[in-house]
A and B are shown apart, each in its own frame.
Chain A
Amino acid sequence: MSNNDQAATAGPAPASRQKTARKPRRSRIIVDFMGSMSLAITLLVALAIASVIGTVLVQNEPYTEYLMDFGPFWHEIFAGMGLYQVYSATWFLLVVAFLVISTSFCVYRQTPGLLKDLRRYNTQVKEKSLRSFHSSAEADLEQPQDAFLQHAHRVLKAQGFKAREKNHDGQTVIAAMRGRWNRMGYLLTHVGIVVICVGALADGTTLLKVNEWLGNLEVETRSVPISEVPRSAWVPEWNPSFRGSVEIPEGASANVVFLPMREGYFVQELPFRIELEEFRIERFSTGAESSYESDLVIHDPNRDEPLRHTISVNHPLIYNGYAIYQASFADGGTRLSIDAIPLGAEALQELEVPGRVFQEMDIPTPDGDTRTIEFINFQSENVVPLLNEEGVRENRQMGPSFDFRLMDRTGHGLYYRNYKRPALQEGAMYFLSGVRESPADEFHYLFLPADADNSLERFRTYLAMLHNPEVRNEIARQVARDDETVADEQNQAIARTTAELMGLFAEGGYMAVHNEIERRVPAERIEEVRDLMIRILHAGLQGLYMEVLQDEGVVSIQEEEQRFLEDTISAINAITLYQSPFFFHLTDFEHREASGLQIARAPGQSTVYAGSTMLIVGIFLLFYVSYQRLWIMARRRDDGEGTHVVMAGTSNRHQVEFEERFAHLKRWIIDQKPVGSDPQREDQNKNA
C-alpha cells in the first residue's frame, strides 16, 4: 500500500520539504512537536479516556455519597484527582488546552505551505519525477506541439482545471489544479475546533477557579439560609459566564442563582429580580406531564415596567444575555390541613394539625408523649399506571398525597405517604397510607376501609369501641349469652375470654393473641387452642361490629358490610406494625409550588456556533471536493514533427477514483478519443 503514500502526503508535503531544507532550530523542533499528529492523537485518546471516566463515575453527587460508595481511602484519592468533576478538573482542562495549542500549531505550521501550494502551480517539475508518479502516462504523438497544447488546455478547462503554462528550451510544461476549496476545508475544520474550544473555555468555570485560587472567592459547603452565606462565597454581577439554578416558590422572588462548585456552591448575584407568579404542570389526558410552565416577572431597576413572560421546557427566556430555563419543580411550601386521628380509644376525637411542607411540628400523643412530624412533600396529582380488570394498561389518578416523617423523642421514625382521597381497590374504597423505613425502600400500605359515605367514620367508631374495655365486656357478654346451649358459668367464662382476646387484639393484633396463647398453653395443645381462640375472638369482633351497625341504623348485613368488617380487622391488625399513634388525614390544602430555574450566561455560545459552522463546512469541503493536480510536459519529438508527451497527476485522496479519472484524462488528452458513454461510470466519476 506504500504506493499510495505519495498521494496521501501531497498536502503536507511542502511543510516537510521546509523541515529538511535547513538545520532545524530549537523553536522549529517545538513547533514540529506541538503540531505533530502523534501528539494530537495522543491527546485525542487522553480526552476520550477522561470522558469515559466521567460517564462511568456519576458526576457532581454530594461528597457524602461518594464517601459511602468508595470508602475514605479511595474517596480521598478520587476527590484529589478531581474525578467527581472530571470535566472541570484542572488536568482535564490542561488536556483540552494542549489539544487546542497542538491544533493551533498544526494550523500555523501547515498554513504557509498550504497557501503557497495553492498559488504555486509548480511548472518547474522535472520529467523524471513526473514518471515516478503513481498516475502517469507517456506517449509520442504525430500532432504538432502547438496543436497538442491547445487541445490539452481545452480539455483541462472543460474539466474544471486552472492551468499555468511555462516554456523553456522548446519544452512546455502545463501545471494544472482543481478543487482548491478542499485545502480550505483543512483550515476551516482545524480553526473551527480551536474556535469551539476557545468559546467553550470562555463559558466554563475557569474564571471562578482563578478567583478562588487568588483567594477572592471561597466555596460555601453548608446548607444555610442565604443571609448566612459569607460574602466570600458571593460572585458579583461582573461574572460574564455561569450556569446555576435557583428554586423560587410561587409568590416569591430571587435575585441570586446558586452555582455548584465541587462539594459546595457559590452565590451569583443577578442584576434583576425574578418573581414567580405561578407554576403549572400541563398534562395529557392520561395524566402524564406534557409541559412545565412558569409565569415569571422580571423586576429590573433599568426597566420602567416589570417584564412578564411565561417560560416552559424548550422555551426559555433570554433576557439581556441571561438565559432563564425551566429546569425542575418542587413543592414551595404547600399549606396542609390535617386531622390527626388517634389509632386507639380516642379515635373519634381528631386533632387538627395545620401543616406546611418543609415544616416540623410537635404533636402530643394520647398517652402523654410527643411526636415530631416533618412535612416533606406534597403532590397534587398521582398518576399510577395499572392493569385494569381486562388486563389493559390504564393510568389511575390517585389524587393528592403528602409525604411526612414521624419521629419520636430520639429522632427515630418512619416515612409515610398518605392520600387524601380513598382509592378503589378490588371493588372497595380505602384510605391509603404508605410506610417505609427509608426513602430508598418501597412503601408498604395500610388500607383503612372507607364507609358508604367515603369517610372513616365507621372505622373510627369501631376502633374507639374496640379500645373501650367497658364496651368490650358488654359485647363479650352479649355474644356469650347468644349461645343458649351452655350453662351460665361457662357463658361467663367465655365472655371473660372474649373480652380478654378483644383487648389483646386491640393493643397488639393477632401477634399479641398468639403470644398470649403460647405463654399460657402447653406446646402440644397450641394449635387446637389457637383455632378455638381465634373463633372466639372473631365472634367478639363480629358482635362489636353488629353493635356499630345497629347504632348506624343498618339492619341487614350484605356482602359489602361483611367485607368491611374483614378489612377493619386486617387494618387493626396492621396498625401494630404501622408505628404511628395517628392516622394523618389530609382534609384540605392550599397548593404552593416552586419552580426550579436554571439561569445561564454564556457569552461564548455564538463563538462556539461559529466554530461549529466552520467545522461542518470544512468537513464537507474536505470530503466532497477533490483536490487534483495535473502536469503535462510536451516537447518536440527528437525524430521528427510530432510531440512527446509526459503526463502525471495526483490527488490528496480517493486514489482508486483518481486513477480512473486520470485514465479518462489521458484518453481525452493523449489518445484524443471519447471515453464512451457509460452513464454509471460517468456518475461515479462525478461523485467521487
Chain B
Amino acid sequence: MSVPHEALDFERPGFFRQLQLRDWAYFALMAAVAVISLALYGENMDRYDIGGLILAVGTSAWMGWFWRPWQAFSVIVGVLSLFGIWLYGDNLAANETNFWLNYIGSGQAGVMWMSVFLYLSTVAYLMGLFSSSDFPSRVGAAFAWVGAGAGTMALLVRWREIYLTDPTWGYIPVANLYEVFILFAALTALMYLYYEQRTGSRNMGAFVMLIIAAAVTFLLWYMFTRDAHVVEPLVPALNSWWMKIHVPTNFVGYGGFAIAAMLGVAFLIRNRLERTRPDAAITQRIPTKDTLDSVMYKAIAIGFAFFTIATVLGAMWAAEAWGGYWSWDPKETWALIVWLNYAAWLHMRFTKGWRGPTMAWWAIVGLFITTFAFLGVNMFLSGLHSYGEL
C-alpha cells in the first residue's frame, strides 16, 4: 500500500517551475513589446505613459501565466489591431477605400463584428441549454471568444482613429458611453469565458450572454440613433491619465456584478425546477446550485475588489481634478451605494453563512443598483460626472 514519495504528486513544483516553455515565450514577447515600444516611441512618452505601458504589458504577461487562453487571445487581437493601424497609416479616410478596414479592421467594423458574434454566441448557448449535445455551447464559447476579440480590436483601432481624426484630441477610447459599452461587452464576455473554463460548466453561458446581448443592443441603438460613434474632442476634466486606469478597473467591477446577477437568475430557475420538475432534462442541464453559488460568489468578489480599487482611484483623480477626494457628487454617491450593497452581501455570506435564493435575488437587485449607478445617474441626475449623456 505504501508507495515511495516520488510517485505521489503532492510535492507540487513552485509557481515558476510549473510554467512551460510557451509561458516563458509569451513573457518574452510581452517584454519585447515593451522594449520595442519604448525604443520607438520612448522619447515622446512622459513617465505616466511609460508607467502605463509597463502596467499594461505586465498585466497582460501575468494574465497569460494565470490563464493560458489569454496568450493566444492577446497575440491574435494584438496582431490584427496592429495590422489595422498599419493599414490606416496617417490617413483616416483609408477605411473607405481599404477592404480590410472597411469590412473588418476599423473600429466601427470591429464593433459590428463584435455585436454579430456576441448575438450568435447568445443564440448558440441558448440552443445548448435546450439540447442534449454539448456542441451548440462549444460553438457559443467560440463565438464569444471571437466577439470579445473583435470588441477589443475595435477599441484598440479606435484609439488610433481618434488620433487620426485630430492629433490634438487623442485619448483612450473609454471616454463616453459608446466606448465603455464596447469595453463592457468584451470584458464581461472574457470574464465569463474564464469562469466557464475554470468550472467546465458551459451552460452558464445561456444566462450570462443574455446580459451581454442586452448591452450590445443598447450599444447598437445608441450608435444608430445618436451617432454615438462619431469621434468628439474630450472635455477638459476627462483629459487625465487617471482615466486610463479608473474606467477599465470600474468595468471589471461592473462585469463581475453583471455575471453574478445572471447566475443568480440561473440559480433561481434551477431552484424552482428542482422542486417542480426534478427529473426533467432541462433541470439537469442548468449548472448545479453549488456551482452557480460558487461562481456567483467569485464574480461578486472580483467585482467588489476591483470596484473598490476603481472607487479609490476615482477619489484620487477627483482630488486632482475637482479639488477634493470626495464631493458627494451623485455618481460618487451611487458608487458608494453599490459598494455598500455588495459589502453587505459579502458580510452576510461570510459571517452568517447565507446561501441560496436570498443571495441570488440580492445579486439580481445588486445589478439594478449598479445599472442605475452606471446609466441612471447620467440620465436622471446632474453632477460633475455628466459625461456621455443619453
Binding site for B on A (CB under 8 A): 1, 4-5, 7-9, 11-12, 37, 40-41, 44-45, 47-48, 51-52, 54-56, 58-59, 86-87, 141-143, 147, 151, 154-155, 158-159, 200, 203, 243, 284-286, 288-292, 312-316, 323, 325, 327, 393, 598-600, 602, 605, 608-609, 612, 615-616, 619-620, 623, 652-654, 656-657, 664, 668, 672-677, 680, 682-684, 687
Our pick among B235, B312, B381 for the contact of A55 (Cβ within 8 Å) is B381
- A151–B10 Cα distance when bound, in Å, is 11
For A5, the chain B residues whose CB sits under 8 A away are 353
- A599–B323 Cα distance when bound, in Å, is 7
**Which B residues, 294 to 314, have Cβ-Cβ distances below 8 Å to chain A?**
294, 301-302, 304-305, 308-309, 312
Whether A687 touches B290, Cβ cut-off 8 Å, given contacts A1-B355, A609-B316, is no
Whether A323 touches B323, Cβ cut-off 8 Å, given contacts A290-B236, A615-B308, A675-B9, is yes
> Could you list 16 examples of A-B contacts with CB < 8 Å?
A12-B351, A45-B344, A158-B10, A203-B324, A289-B235, A290-B234, A291-B236, A323-B323, A599-B323, A602-B319, A605-B325, A612-B312, A657-B294, A674-B7, A674-B9, A682-B12
Min CB distance B385 to A, Å, is 11
**Which B residues, 266 to 303, have Cβ-Cβ distances below 8 Å to chain A?**
290-291, 293-294, 301-302
For B323, the chain A residues whose CB sits under 8 A away are 243, 316, 323, 325, 327, 598-600
Task: Determine if B47 is an interface residue (Cβ-Cβ < 8 Å).
Answer: no
Whether B2 and A143, one on each chain, are in contact in the complex, defined by CB atoms closer than 8 angstroms, is yes
Whether A47 touches B168, Cβ cut-off 8 Å, given contacts A4-B353, A616-B309, A674-B8, is no
Whether A672 and B328, one on each chain, are in contact in the complex, defined by CB atoms closer than 8 angstroms, is no
Whether A55 touches B198, Cβ cut-off 8 Å, given contacts A4-B355, A45-B344, A200-B326, is no
Our pick among A51, A56, A672, A680 for the contact of B200 (Cβ within 8 Å) is A680
For A243, the chain B residues whose CB sits under 8 A away are 323-324
- A683–B336 Cα distance when bound, in Å, is 35
Min CB distance A664 to B, Å, is 8
Whether A54 and B333, one on each chain, are in contact in the complex, defined by CB atoms closer than 8 angstroms, is yes
**Which B residues, 316 to 359, have Cβ-Cβ distances below 8 Å to chain A?**
316, 319-326, 328, 330, 333-334, 336-337, 340-341, 343-344, 347-353, 355-356
Residue of B nearest to A8 (CB): B353
Task: Determine if B240 is an interface residue (Cβ-Cβ < 8 Å).
Answer: yes
For B305, the chain A residues whose CB sits under 8 A away are 616, 619-620, 623
How many interface residues does chain B have, given as a range?
35 or more
Residue of B nearest to A52 (CB): B337
Whether A142 and B353, one on each chain, are in contact in the complex, defined by CB atoms closer than 8 angstroms, is no
Q: Mask for B1-40, Cβ within 8 A of A = 1, else 0?
A: 1110101111110000000000000000000000000000
For A8, the chain B residues whose CB sits under 8 A away are 349-353
- A616–B323 Cα distance when bound, in Å, is 23
Q: Mask for B226-242, Cβ within 8 A of A = 1, else 0?
A: 00001011111101101
Whether A668 and B347, one on each chain, are in contact in the complex, defined by CB atoms closer than 8 angstroms, is no
For A151, the chain B residues whose CB sits under 8 A away are 5
Whether A656 touches B8, Cβ cut-off 8 Å, given contacts A44-B343, A54-B328, A608-B325, is no
Our pick among A7, A314, A325 for the contact of B236 (Cβ within 8 Å) is A314
Residue of B nearest to A292 (CB): B236
For A313, the chain B residues whose CB sits under 8 A away are 236-237, 239, 321
For A314, the chain B residues whose CB sits under 8 A away are 236-237, 239-240, 242, 320-321
Binding site for A on B (CB under 8 A): 1-3, 5, 7-12, 66, 166, 168-169, 198-200, 230, 232-237, 239-240, 242, 290-291, 293-294, 301-302, 304-305, 308-309, 312, 315-316, 319-326, 328, 330, 333-334, 336-337, 340-341, 343-344, 347-353, 355-356, 377, 381-383
Whether A284 touches B233, Cβ cut-off 8 Å, given contacts A55-B330, A608-B325, A619-B308, is yes
Min CB distance B38 to A, Å, is 25
Whether A37 touches B328, Cβ cut-off 8 Å, given contacts A158-B11, A284-B169, is no
Extra contacts, 14 of them, besides A288-B232, A674-B8 (Cβ < 8 A), are A41-B347, A51-B340, A54-B333, A55-B381, A158-B11, A243-B323, A286-B233, A290-B234, A291-B236, A325-B321, A598-B324, A602-B324, A609-B312, A616-B309
- A677–B235 Cα distance when bound, in Å, is 55
Whether A672 touches B3, Cβ cut-off 8 Å, given contacts A1-B355, A44-B343, A200-B326, is yes
Whether A668 touches B324, Cβ cut-off 8 Å, given contacts A284-B169, A612-B312, is no
Residue among A12, A48, A664, A677 with the highest chain B CB neighbour number at 10 A: A48
Smallest CB-CB A-B distances: 10 pairs: A8-B353, A598-B323, A325-B323, A55-B330, A313-B236, A612-B312, A158-B11, A668-B10, A314-B240, A87-B328
Residue of A nearest to B355 (CB): A1
Min CB distance B55 to A, Å, is 16
- A655–B241 Cα distance when bound, in Å, is 41
- A147–B301 Cα distance when bound, in Å, is 42
For B383, the chain A residues whose CB sits under 8 A away are 55
Min CB distance B270 to A, Å, is 14
Whether B10 and A285, one on each chain, are in contact in the complex, defined by CB atoms closer than 8 angstroms, is no
Our pick among A55, A290, A608 for the contact of B334 (Cβ within 8 Å) is A55
For B319, the chain A residues whose CB sits under 8 A away are 323, 602, 605
Whether A290 and B239, one on each chain, are in contact in the complex, defined by CB atoms closer than 8 angstroms, is yes
Whether A656 and B290, one on each chain, are in contact in the complex, defined by CB atoms closer than 8 angstroms, is yes
- A567–B249 Cα distance when bound, in Å, is 58
- A285–B166 Cα distance when bound, in Å, is 9
- A638–B172 Cα distance when bound, in Å, is 73
Residue of B nearest to A12 (CB): B351
For B199, the chain A residues whose CB sits under 8 A away are 684
Whether A677 touches B9, Cβ cut-off 8 Å, given contacts A141-B1, A243-B323, is yes
Residue of B nearest to A88 (CB): B328
- A37–B344 Cα distance when bound, in Å, is 10
For A142, the chain B residues whose CB sits under 8 A away are 1-2
Residue among A284, A608, A619, A687 with the highest chain B CB neighbour number at 10 A: A619
Whether A284 touches B168, Cβ cut-off 8 Å, given contacts A4-B355, A44-B343, is yes
Residue among B11, B66, B199, B304 with the highest chain A CB neighbour number at 10 A: B11
